[in-house]
Amino acid sequence: MRYDSARLAGSSPAVTLRRRAEFDGDFFLLVLLLLGIGVLMVFSASFPRAYYDPSGVTGGRAWYYFVRQLIYALLGLGLLLLCARLPMGFYRRWAFPFLGLTLVLLALVPLIGVKANGSRRWLGVGSLTVQPSELAKLAVILCFSAMICRYREQMRSFRRGILPFLGILAAIVGLLVLEPHFSASVIILALGGCMLFLGGAGLGWFAAALGGLGGGLFVLLTFFPYASSRINTWRDPFSSPSSEGYQIVQSLYAIGSGGLTGLGLGAGRQKYLYLPEEHNDFIFSVVCEELGFLGAALILLLFALLILRGYRIALGCEDRFAFLVCAGITTLLALQVFLNVAVVTNLLPCTGISLPFFSYGGTALLIQMGEMGIVLSASRERKERE
């Protein structure tokens, strides 16, 4: 649609509309800041484990994880710029094929996936591994956004507004449970609920879902001792500091020893093979120990600014699909940041949830950068009022 700025200039109040040719610079700058700090913290958190690694994978090279994360960060930056140049119509057109590819990859994981820590969550191609659960999160956002646009007037009905979405969620979560990957299942279910809420689904369906979730938790805690043990450990991790509660106890030690200003970058102690997953899911504990409360608060402030900017971009989108995708990606970012910080501080039971831009992992970082690129693509297409 074209706008006659001369005609609009004569209206009261005077308003001009223009199409942005460049993406949102503030959003891009915040992404770069978080990415740079995250890569630096991976080096600080990982060099003791890389140096002392008894498995021999790192070859005693202290910079092993840092170099790999830096390479993924540079590749992710290229992917961000590529995704920012593609129009939103491209993502809508390929949403369902992308979902199909994701389901195929998820189905292959239990059969030929790489096993680590008792779970099969990765597909290996030579020395490279891919985690399809990260693709599933983006697939849900793109596919749900396209479906909500298609069934816009029927979102309050069960047949069009609920049933197709539940089918997709059931297929994805069912495949994730086979791995098993419960943390990704929780995130995808929460993300699916948020997308349906944004799409205008009736609130009664959410009440029914919460009731079903409560019943599921009751069954889980009653008939699965592992789940009840996890809850007991969460309530009092110091009751078993050398077994079930070991990881969260070490995390709390790291956070507490950081104090207000921290021990200094690289000077943390818990990363010396005391804290498990110190360069991955529990990297925020190392951040708190080395940068202190002030440094951790500054990083959370950067995340908050990025999330707020993402929602502002979403609200500026005139296209419904672009709005839903931007809001969905921003909500996913907010969910992962909140859940990761809540787990490492023992606000929630311990489970494996990575911190965006910080936790070590190639697939997750590449997908996150691609998602940021999609938000920037929407910011290029939105119209601004002057």
Would you kindly state where each structural domain of the chain is located, as residue ranges? 23-385
CA separation for the pair 246, 278 (Å, rounded):
13
Burial, 258: exposed, middle or buried (Cβ in 10 Å; 0-12, 13-18, 19+)?
Answer: buried
pLDDT of residue 4: 42
> What angle separates helix 362-381 from helix 320-344, to the nearest 10 degrees?
140
Closest C-alpha among 194, 187, 186 to residue 165: 194
pLDDT value at residue 15 = 40
Burial of 111 from C-beta contacts in 10 A (0-12 / 13-18 / 19+): exposed
What pTM, to 2 d.p., does this model score?
A: 0.89
Residue 160 pLDDT: 72
Q: What is the pLDDT of residue 227?
A: 63
The one-letter amino acid at 112: I
**How many CA within 13 A on the CB side of residue 292?**
7
For the purposes of burial, counting CB atoms within 10 Å of the CB of 178, is it exposed (0-12), middle (13-18) or buried (19 or more)? middle
> What pLDDT was estimated at residue 225?
63
Run of H or E including 130: strand 128-130
In 10-127, beta strands by DSSP E: 17-19, 114-116, 119-125
Least Cα distance to 94 among 148, 142, 166 occurs for 142
Total Cβ atoms within 10 A of residue 275: 27
Instruction: Starting at the earlier edge strand, list the strands of the sheet with 119-125.
Output: 114-116, 119-125, 128-130
Q: List average pLDDT for each run of 10 residues in the chain, which is 386 residues long.
A: 38 41 88 97 94 82 94 96 94 96 93 76 77 94 94 77 89 88 88 89 72 68 65 84 89 95 94 93 96 97 98 93 96 96 92 92 93 95 51
The full DSSP string for 246-292 is HHHHHHHHHHHHHTTT-S-TT--STTTTTSTTTTTTTHHHHHHHHHH
pLDDT for the residue numbered 23: 83
Tokens of 209: 């879902």
Q: 191: which 2 tokens?
A: 């993300």
The secondary structure element, H or E, covering residue 67 is: helix 64-85
User: Token pair of 84, please?
Assistant: 């920012």
Q: Say how many Å lie between the first and final Cα of the chain, rounded.
A: 18
